[in-house]
Amino acid sequence: MSHTAELIAVGTELLLGNIANTNAQVLSQSLSALGVNVFWHTVVGDNPDRLKEALDVARKRADILITTGGLGPTYDDLTKQTICEAFGKPLVLHPDILEDIRAFYESALHVPMPENNTQQAQLPEGCAVFDNPVGTAPGCAFESDGVHVLMLPGPPHEMETMLRRHVEPYLRRLSHEVIVSRDIMTFGMGESSVDELLHDKMVRMTNPTLATYAKPCEVRLRATAKAPTEEEAQAMLSPVLAEVQAVLGNIIYGIDVADLAACCHAQLLRRGLTLATAESCTGGLVAEKLTAIPGASAVYRGGVVSYWTGVKANVLRVPADILDAYGPVSEQCARAMAEGVRTITGADLGVSVTGAAGPDPDERGVPVGIVYIGLATPEGTFCRPLDFGRRRRDRIQGLAANHAFDVVRRWLQGLPVERV
């Protein structure tokens, strides 16, 4: 039997935009892997009447309702009370849970438990209790007229701990299917162009399915299959991956990898090579993306953010005649920057970025959106010229950083680097 879930996040702070609803993303990913269809996300404020309305709608269209938030000790934490009223369940005090909460305050916080925390030990009659080892709000689950209701705390670290310890085993007993997804990561072609190449195939597919998702500066294709076992789902996906790779070719930079930086890190590690960066308009974004990866020190030597022309000349050793004749935003300067950082760090590869990110042209009148990516290697130096047009500054910087990684990964894969 296939199950359908609705996630209901409770909290006025979510509606006001004060915090992001990251719980919904984590829960959806988990439920998808368990074979549970998530068709609706709902957010409702700390208002019992509106929460009851949301529950009335949800129970008619889903057989698994998962709420997050509203399990605290304060006056506006009314999720349990509202749900129990909606489903005709009395609240019952659990003395053992109350003692656990009291002990948490005394041992972890070294203060007496406030009496209003008593309401956290009140749970629906006959429910399955989910203990909370990292907080004071226990969760719970019950079934009523074929609908499973699960209540989880709102703080993400508490919710995720409870999800792994209790919710996933609970739902695994309900579901007899698994959903497996594979992410095909591409760079160098827009979403509409990718869709055009694969459109006829995608609209005909039912299981597995294939869909495109535009990420910042790249496109992800997600192939998804549902089957009784993970092995069967993986077998269903294999021909889909092969067909997509045959159509898109080398704009695919990886399967199930996080991003281009992770792709480059893995390939550099595999080949035992090191990289250094010289950045101007990206302001260290390439270095930031790479050093966010654990173990980056095995492949990354260091970098120079050469925002001023003087730094390009004095640190990266870009010749004065290049800067005088062509300016800092030029192919010649990009090549010299890459060579300079490779020399001063001793890295196997040096990659550089220089350009006009806006909002105004540079001092020589180079238009916004003009960017050059340089790559110095043991086999010579290359340059990829780019024109992003008048886009937002952060968009140009993000695109430029991804192009820098794409140049590196293409060279590592033996592909042409100067053009996508």
Query: Is there a contact between 237 and 182 (Cβ–Cβ < 8 Å)?
Result: yes
What's the mean pLDDT in 282-299? 98
Domain spans in the chain, listed from the N-terminal domain onward: 4-172, 178-255, 260-412
Cα gap 99→111, rounded to integer Å? 14
- Reduced DSSP (H G I as helix, E B as strand, rest coil) percent helix, strand, coil of the chain, to 5: 45, 25, 30
pLDDT single digits (tens) 76-98 = 889 999 999 999 999 999 999 99
Q: What is the pLDDT of residue 1?
A: 59
CATH of domain 178-255: 3.30.70.2860
Judged by DSSP in three states, 342 sits in helix
What average pLDDT does the structure give for the chain?
Answer: 95
Strand partners, 142: 149
Written out in words, the top-level CATH class of the domain with range 4-172 is alpha beta
The least confident of 94-108, 267-281, 366-380 is 94-108
- How is residue 127 annotated by DSSP? P
**Secondary structure, 3-state, 19-30:** CCCHHHHHHHHH
Q: What is the pLDDT of residue 215?
A: 77
**Token digits of residue 367:** 């238009």
**pLDDT surpassing 80 at residue 216:** no
What is the third-level CATH fold of 260-412?
Maf protein (3.90.950)
What's the mean pLDDT in 200-220? 90
pLDDT single digits (tens) 15-44 = 999 999 999 999 999 998 888 999 999 999
Peptide bond into 208 cis (omega under 30): yes
How many Cβ atoms are within 10 Å of 328's Cβ, its own excluded? 28
What's the mean pLDDT in 226-248? 96
- Residue 336's nearest CA partner among 356, 315, 357 is 315
How many Cβ atoms are within 10 Å of 312's Cβ, its own excluded? 25
